[in-house]
Each structure stands twice: as C-alpha cells, then as structure tokens.
Amino acid sequence: MSLKIGDMLLKAGLISGEQLDKALAEQKSSGSRIGSILVKQGFITEDEIVQFLSKQFNVPAVNLREYKIDPTLIRLVPSQVAQKYGILPLSRLGRVLTMAVVNPNDALAIEDIRFTTGFDVKPVIASEAAIWEAIDKHYGSAGMLEDMMKSLKAEEDAGGEDGDLEILEEQKEDAGDAASEMSAAIENSPAAKLVNSLIAEGVKRRASDIHIEPYEKDMRVRMAVDGALQEVMQPPLRMKASIVARVKIISKLKVEEKRLPQDGRIRMNVLNKPIDIRVSIIPTAFGEKIAMRVLDRTSVSFDIHKFGFGEKALKDLLKGVHTPFGIVLVTGPTGSGKTTTMYACIEELNEPDTNIMTAEEPVEFSLGGINQVAVKEEGGTTFGAALKAFLRQDPNIIMVGEIRDKETAEIAIRSSLTGHLVISSVHTNSAALTITRMVDMGVEPFMIASSLLTVLSQRLVRMICQSCKEEYRPDENLVREFLGPRIDPRSIKFYRGRGCPECRTSGYRGRLALAEVIPITPAIRDLIMAKAQADVIEAKAIEEGMVTLRRDGISKVSAGLTSIDEVIKETVAEQ
C-alpha cells in the first residue's frame, strides 16, 4: 500500500509526528488536503512539498504562474473533473495528456481522468495554490456556465423548480397584456433559471454586487467580492434580451422600456436566507446593463464593536453617539461602509423607550424597532422634507442618509439644537474636510460649532486570508513611502495572502474599516468659528491625539490584518 503525503513527509523528516497529528485533527473537521493544512499551519512551505514529491516520484515540477496554457486543452477536461481533483491540462502529444497535479500518487484520480478524457495521463507536480489559481482563471467563466447549464437541464428533465431560491414578490400583469405574455414565456426559460443561479452563486460567494454587461459581440457577468470585481462567466449573447426581461419582471420594472434608466428591488429567499436586491438598469451602446446590489442581512453585523475601529477612534465615536443631542457625521467615498456604520450607531442606541427615525435613499436594511422612511426626490419626499416631518413625531434620535445641501444641513442642525441626536453622512475625503464642506454649503460656522459632536471618516480595505497568510518584505522604496519619515521600517512586519481555495486565490477574505475620528473639542470649535482651513483643523486634531486613516492602516498592516497595497490604495501619505 502506497504511503500518503503526510506519512511520506514524516518519514523524510520534513515534519514531526506532532505536526502531522495536528494537521490530521484539522483535516477531520475541515476536509482539506493534508498538504494544504500543513502549509496553512506553517509547518512546511508549498515549495518544499512540491520539490520533495518531484524527487520522490521522479516527476517534473512546474511553475504554473509562468506557464502559458493553450485554451483548446481546457476543453478536453470537463470543469467538474478539474474542480473535483484539482488538476489542470498543460499539453498534449498524441494520446498523452500532460496534467499538473498536487499528488502524483493519487492513482484513483489519474485513472478517473484517463477514463473521462480517453487520454493517457502524464502527471507533473505544481503547488496546490497555483493549480487552483489557474483553474479559477481558465475554468471560472466557461466552467460556471457549463455547470449551470447542466444543472438547469437536469432540473428541466426532472420537472423541478429552483430549490435554493424563492422570489417573494413578482410582477403580475393583467391578462392579455403584452408584458404578461412575455412574463409567462420567460418565467420558466433557461434565462430565468440562469438569473436565479447567478443570484444564488453571488450569495454563496458573499458578493456585494452582480453586474451583467452587454458588449458588441459578447456579454459578461462580474461579481464584486470584498470590493474587488471578478469575472465569473460569459453567457451566450443570444440570451441577452431574455436575461434583461427576466430581471425586470422580478424587480417589477417596465419590461418594454428600453430607452430610460430604471431602478427596482427584488425580495427573495436564497439558500434559506432572506435577501434584498437593489436593481439598476441603464441603456448602453450594445444593450441594457444590469447592476444588482445584494443586501444579505444575515452576513452583515451591526455591532459597532466588531468593525475593527482602533481603540481611541471607537471611544471618541461612542462618546458622540451617546450624547443626548448634537450631530455625529460619517464621511467617506461611495462604498466605504457609511450606511452600515450609521446603522450600527443607531442599533447601539436602540432601546424600547427611544424613538428613532431614519430618512434613507433607499432603505437598505429593515431594522426592528426603528421607523424608517424611504426618500423619493421625484415624489417630493426630500431629506429636508422628511426631517421637517420627523420633528412632529417626537423623535429622540434622527438618522439622515445624507446631507447634500444647505437646507438639509440647517434643518439637521436646528433639530440637534432643540434636543435631538442627529446622525448623518457627507461625501468628503477626510474628517477635517467634512467641517469645511458644511461651511461651503453656506451653513454659518457658529451653527456648526455649537451642534457638531464628532466626525468620523472611514474606508474599507480587504483583509488578508488567514488560511494562506505569509510574511514577506515589499520593495524598500515603497515601504519608506508608505511609512513616512517618522516610523522605522524595521519595526513593521508585512504580510500578504499567497492565494488558496479558501479565498479563491485572491489572497483576501473579508473586509475591515480604517477610521479617523475628530471629536469636537473646545480648540477645534474655536477653529471652526474662525473659518480655519481643513489642514489646520486636521493638524490640531492630530496634536490632540487623532489617529489618521494612514496611521490606522499602518497599525492594521503591522497586525497582519491587511496588506500594504490595500492601505496605499485607500489612504494618502502623511507629510
């Protein structure tokens, strides 16, 4: 009987018996390959495993990241076979197919591949992470489409429905209406099932957005996971019209309207979870583009203590939030998590004896015990109008989705001066710029100074995958630029994700917040009254102990939570 990889490494003295026992214990619970677990636990490197097996079996080792693969070979091995065994076809000579494998000792896998493909198999060894990265690259689009289509055909043959997905509200047209006939024709079509499968796949991948994009000769689907877009498939161009029609039907939009942008919403249960999807459809040069924002309440925490804020930033923010009246402002670019932070702030204050009201455009998540109003500018329900109406409802706390103009800002300030806590957002790039932005709107500095409690500026960065995290040393010039002149480069360790099946080879899994918080102290209040510039206010805040976004990023890089690349992308260097 041939030895398993773990036993072979133990016999060669590359790992200890204790290390193998620990890896085997984890394998029982996770089901992962033993080699992958040993690497993850830091007992051995992938390079060491690859080189050892190469010598042991007298099989060549290859570096897939430097290997150009012929796309025609990919079609010789079905996606499900490549995914099942973690293998990749590299070359073909007559009836011999050279395959990159993790374990050349896996006779069952090689025999199954030989039977499935009809070719003799010649194995070569590559690292597991590199194989999965290549599988994702070469099979990601075609493989996903192939698997979906087979699944859909199996369901049709069995006469079944989509077991993982249930639409809770669907457009129903009057009988005889042209759109009704189209709805009936599309409801059980392959396009409808493909849309359902895409949504289910997006939820499985923890995608925040799904984009369906038409071009002149093809179309593609991309999903945003942890803020980064990934192409997942290319549906046949012939399905373009029916995919768009299906999305319009389930989001209750006008199917026949193709010239104007439309916004809708889908409510559904996906994988036994309640999911809300915001839909935006716009006409482009080659058809209508669909963007779907996936709002999975079960995957979002509104516990502000778990957002990853630094100790001082969290303390200063909570002090403002727990003040009975005044304004707390959250700022940052689109997609920086402002709404989630505001929700977390009001959840922190949500008690049975507290009347909390929100004005949002749109309402993203339904929060128990909180009165939420959807702002619709075209219908006359503006943020300012909602705020005026709220004051007749005797609220204790008001959340305004965004302060965009002088009217809304002044009503918010008056509300805070009459005994209400107001939480809102402003689009700016730093906490100090938020204050000067309010002045630029035309709000009197004395009103800002007398009402403002705290300003939080935040960014979201991707977290390094903890399953494949490794220490490394970036380019020294980049390190010096990143840290600035005041920090010794030798005092900081740097980490990155190598890429593994857990993170789909991206090296990242999950996101956390970087934050800077300015509490409005007497000194800051004096600067506001004097109409000081943003850089002067920021300098005073730093003098009083504010941790800037870059400094917060440096601390999270040093802790191994995120990478230098992520922080550089989201913050500016200190002078």
Per-residue pLDDT, averaged over 436-448, amounts to: 92
Pairwise pLDDT comparison (159 vs 201), residue with the higher score = 201
The pLDDT of residue 188: 58
Q: What CATH number does the domain containing 327 carry?
A: 3.40.50.300
Q: Where are any strands of DSSP class E within 202-325?
A: 207-214, 219-225, 228-233, 262-270, 273-284, 287-296
pLDDT at 277 over 70: yes
Tell me the C-alpha distance between 330 and 424, whole Å: 6
- 281, 333: one domain: no
Q: What CATH number does the domain containing 36 carry?
A: 3.30.300.160
Per-residue pLDDT, averaged over 332-349, amounts to: 91
- 214, 273: one domain: yes
- 68, 186: one domain: no
pLDDT at 408 over 80: yes
**Percent of the residues in the chain that have a pLDDT greater than 70, as a whole number:** 90
pLDDT at 239 over 80: yes
> Cis peptide before 104, with omega less than 30 degrees from 0?
no
- 288, 363: one domain: no
- 352, 366: one domain: yes
- 108, 221: one domain: no
Q: How confident is the model at residue 12 (pLDDT cuts 50, 70, 90)?
A: confident
In a domain, 187, yes or no: yes
DSSP letters, 547-573, are PPHHHHHHHHHHTTSS-HHHHHHH---
In a domain, 266, yes or no: yes
Given 266, 299, 332, which residue is the final one in a domain?
299
Per-residue pLDDT, averaged over 226-245, amounts to: 86
Q: How confident is the model at residue 174 (pLDDT cuts 50, 70, 90)?
A: very low
Q: What is the total count of domains within the chain?
A: 3
Tell me the C-alpha distance between 167 and 275, whole Å: 10
Given 299, 324, 355, which residue is the final one in a domain?
299
The pLDDT of residue 151: 55
In a domain, 149, yes or no: no
Q: What CATH number does the domain containing 214 carry?
A: 3.30.450.90
Q: How confident is the model at residue 3 (pLDDT cuts 50, 70, 90)?
A: low
The pLDDT of residue 545: 93
Given 269, 299, 329, which residue is the final one in a domain?
299
- 407, 541: one domain: yes
- 317, 199: one domain: no
In a domain, 565, yes or no: no
In a domain, 195, yes or no: yes
Range of the domain at 314: 304-462+511-550
- 76, 195: one domain: no
Tell me the C-alpha distance between 305 and 129, whole Å: 34
- 380, 443: one domain: yes
- 98, 203: one domain: no
Per-residue pLDDT, averaged over 353-381, amounts to: 86
- 180, 97: one domain: no
In a domain, 498, yes or no: no
Q: What tens digit of pLDDT does each residue of 486-515 get?
A: 788 788 889 988 877 778 778 899 999 999
The pLDDT of residue 6: 82
DSSP letters, 320-362, are HHTSSSEEEEEE-STTSSHHHHHHHHHHHH--TT--EEEEESS
Tell me the C-alpha distance between 116 and 110, whole Å: 10
Per-residue pLDDT, averaged over 109-115, amounts to: 85
pTM: 0.71
Residue keyed to tokens 């920086």: 336
Pairwise pLDDT comparison (258 vs 144), residue with the higher score = 258
